[in-house]
Amino acid sequence: MPSPTAPLLEVRNLRVEFNTRRGTLVAVDDVSFDIAPGEVLGVVGESGAGKSITGTAIIGLLEPPGRIAGGEVLLAGQRIDNLPAEGMRRIRGRQIGAIFQDPLTSLNPLYTVGQQIIETIQTHLPLGAAEARTRAVDLLKEVGIPAAERRIDHYPHQFSGGMRQRVVIALALCANPKLIIADEPTTALDVSIQAQIITLLKRLCREHGTAVMLVTHDMGVIAETADRVAVMYAGRLAEIGPVQSVIHDPRHPYTRGLMGSIPAIGAEVERLPQIEGAMPRLNAIPSGCAFNPRCPQAMDRCRRERPDLIQAGATRAACWLHAAEGAAR
């Protein structure tokens, strides 16, 4: 049994490949991180950085031709990336919950939300129909659905976008999972509803000791919600560390560019800094550091050798600028 301080989720050297007619594309390349019980790890980066694919690989929902080509995924010390489909299906829902960007993709329009929650509860927990319905009502109340006893018999189209997302969170919590993968859970919602969903996720994490992997491109959501943040670029981790350190003292030039592009309240600037260029396509990732063509501090070594994560102050950054600092520790 893992100790109370042991990580709940351990991702070790994860590699995800897509075999195509043009060759093998590497979408996630040698990614490693942990999440502790009760911790929220935010995962950020541009579209195509590999954030969602990482989450999808962890919960065993990669669609062919995508496949895990290397590395390990451990949940509470048990390896889960090599389980057969049926074994993974039992873990998904029972031990791992998932919240996706569009709640309509997670809810069946032909069934009431109650039918869907009750079915999920009875799939994973030994409860009768009456007990399962009582638990479903309690879950809807917990996620802030008003008049839950009545709304449980409504269909998804009878709920607003924010309320549908609350229903999806209730679905994810049905069997008291140890881990929740939340992929852009607030993107489709307006700002006031976003804040409510963020508050809800934080409270659930605190009260249930659930670990959360929060995938988003919104640094505001990360700042409000996460304990630590992992910044991804071209399928690799560029930087990982405590959220305040990454936001206020970023050590990777890419992270600095991301943070510099966020407007500060009260500051008057004519033009926000931007990162020149675009992230490389998966079939054209440059040698060395993938960020080197866009990096204002790139050196010859950056074009030749690919850096691993190096200790850089309070965070770890995959950047040769910190090679001396990391070696001194």
Amino acid letter, residue 2: P
- The pLDDT tens digits for 245-296 are 999 999 999 999 988 877 766 667 777 778 889 999 999 999 999 999 999 9
Query: Do 17 and 57 form a contact (C-beta atoms < 8 A)?
Result: no
Nearest CA to 37 out of 75, 71, 1, 11 is that of: 75
* Per-residue pLDDT, 4: 53
Give the model's pLDDT for residue 270. Answer: 75
Give the span between the Cα atoms of 25 and 16, in whole angstroms: 9
Name the CA dihedral angle for 171, 136, 108, 177, rounded to a multiple of 10 degrees: 20
State the Cα–Cα distance between residues 100 and 215, nearest whole angstrom: 10
Q: 33: pLDDT confidence band, cut at 50, 70 and 90?
A: very high
pLDDT score at 100? 87
Out of 69-83, 92-106, 224-238, least confident range: 92-106
Please give the model's pTM, rounded to 2 decimal places: 0.92
Averaged pLDDT score across all residues of the chain: 91
What three-state secondary structure class fits 32? Answer: strand
- CB-based contacts of 277, cutoff 8 Å, min separation 6: 293, 294
* Distance, CA of 308 to CA of 310 (rounded, Å): 6
Given a cut of 60, whether residue 14 has pLDDT beyond it is yes
The tens digit of pLDDT for each residue in 177-191 reads 999 999 998 887 888
